[in-house]
Structure 1
Amino acid sequence: MASARPLRTLLSTSRSSLRPVQPARQTLVRTSACAFSTSTPSRAPEYETEAADRPRWQQTPPRMMAPFRIRPIPQGPRFEVNDDPRKLDHAYVKMLGPAGPQMLTDEVKWLAVTHKSFEHGKRGFNDRLAFIGKRIVNLQTSQALLNSPQAESWPKDEGGRALPDEYGRIPFTHPALDGLAGLSQVATDRVLDKERLAGIAERYGLDKVTRWVPKRADNLEGSGQNSVLTTSIYAIIGALALERGGEVANKVTQEKILAPLGFHFSTE
């Protein structure tokens, strides 16, 4: 009969080898921590101190910068982007008047003229402001079209009453409906054409301060400059609506955008 002592010895040895060795594990952790750090862990100062000293419009967040460039550098002349606050204030003075630079905060002034192509949107861009501003400009354009005299209207007699047509029918007329025939999507699109709005933006010098990156610096029009400048116009109106209220935004739209396009507004 075989002895059971060797089997008991084997089982006791296997159990002791499977037990976790707690002191050894704690010693390993303490040793590893001491090997890689000699001070209290903290965030790198370049992400807090230096970034806090400069405004957002003036810097690209360090953590959003790639360590190396992926795309090749484009050939041809380089497009210079404005970074002079005085030049930007001059454009706001031309568009909004002497108090123009004070109507918006510094951050919003730069954001309104920053296209999403600049720094790949890392410093913020003006799409959301332009979304609001475009709705305001469209509303004011529709009201201007309603109040504009129409080239063709229903014939009326000397007393202002509508004359019957060839079938003897007399349409319903009302002064509030006189401009309804001119209110159409075709008329609105014709008024707010990108080329016309880009011309207004160039008149105020926004083409010199809008921050964007064209596909080709020697062909700005082919790179979409008209669309970029139109977005800046809309974004400024949207920014005024958020910071100064709808009444100010409506007035600027009428006087600085629609009036140069040929519309007339009463001062009452």
Structure 2
Amino acid sequence: MKAPYRASPPKNNHVRVLICNSDPKKLDEVYVRFLGRGGDKLLSEESKWLAVTAKSFDHGRRGFNDRLAFFGKRIVELQCSLGLLNARDSSKHHLKDHPSSHGREPFSHPATDAIEVLSGGARHWFTHHKQLSTIAQRNGFPEVVRWHPKYQDNLEASGSDLVYSQALMAVIGALALEQGSAVANRIAREKILFPLGLKEATNEKLEVPQR
């Protein structure tokens, strides 16, 4: 149940309240911008709206994207791991970070060398919500994501990066369910990981964003 009026006035009447998008055309434009031509046709109308709806919007009464985002995040993490494993000389930097105090050389073999990169911070850097949020903002997600920020005058303090990145992951999850894993994997690589620089991830140290 929902009362027709607020029980208490807003804390600051001069703060501009965030107006959530309700225009299907504007939503389609973001999907086309992110997925390319025909991107607005890859998902059903219900899924397109659900993917950009956070739990805070309308108290979750219209559904929210938590499960889709969880599924999509696993897909992006898998593609990130595979990309790092295939990156040229991806493990050399990590092997040099922990030299042996006895002068011993660690075992090295072309078939296993790249695995060392998965224990470093590279995978976390590519899949961190701060990095994913930059892709979401670049593609116009803030204009269509439906959520209710705690602080209307400070979206970043309200967790906007996490909300935007979650919507991005939810789109990947929805694509996997409705278009199959091949499409979702390709979009995860080409539209998220490659723009973040995964193709150039070799032996350079990546700074992990602070939480």
CA displacement 1:190-246 (0-9 Å, x = unmatched): 222222111100111001100011112221111110000010011000000000001
CA apart distance, 1:66: 3.6
Whether 1:216 and 2:151 are equivalent positions in the alignment is: yes
CA contact (8 A) 2:66 2:170 kept: yes
Which structure is higher in RCO with an 8 Å CA cutoff and minimum separation 6? 2
Alignment of 1:80-95 (within 5 A): 80-95=19-34
Distance 1:184 1:171, change over 3 A: closer
Whether 1:79 and 2:18 are equivalent positions in the alignment is: yes
TM-score by length of 1: 0.66
Structure 2: gaps spanning 5 or more residues: 97-101, 201-211
Whether 1:124 and 2:59 are equivalent positions in the alignment is: no
Partner Cα distance (2:42, 2:126) in 1: 27
CA apart distance, 1:170: 7.7
Distance 1:170 1:263, change over 3 A: closer
- Counterpart position of 1:102: 41
Matched residue type, 1:217 = Q
1:115 is paired with a residue whose SS is coil
Partner Cα distance (2:25, 2:95) in 1: 54
Q: 2:180 aligns with which of 245, 250, 261?
A: 245
- Counterpart position of 1:30: none
CA apart distance, 1:92: 0.3
Alignment of 1:2-81 (within 5 A): 64-70=1-7, 72-75=9-12, 76-81=15-20
Alignment of 1:126-145 (within 5 A): 126-145=65-84
Partner Cα distance (2:174, 2:141) in 1: 15
Q: Cα RMSD between the aligned structures?
A: 2.2
- Counterpart position of 1:11: none
CA contact (8 A) 2:72 2:170 kept: yes
Alignment of 1:111-260 (within 5 A): 111-148=50-87, 149-150=89-90, 151-152=92-93, 171-173=107-109, 175-184=110-119, 186-260=121-195
Partner Cα distance (1:71, 1:122) in 2: 22
- Counterpart position of 1:263: 198
CA apart distance, 1:178: 2.2
CA apart distance, 1:176: 2.5
- Range with bigger deviation, 187-196 or 231-240: 187-196
CA contact (8 A) 2:125 2:131 kept: no
Q: Percentage identity across aligned positions?
A: 48
Partner Cα distance (1:128, 1:108) in 2: 12
CA contact (8 A) 2:94 2:120 kept: no
TM-score by length of 2: 0.83
- Structure showing greater radius of gyration is 1
CA apart distance, 1:171: 2.7
2:53 is paired with a residue whose SS is coil
CA displacement 1:154-188 (0-9 Å, x = unmatched): 79xxxxxxxxx956x78351x22121111126322
Structure 1: gaps spanning 5 or more residues: 1-63, 156-164
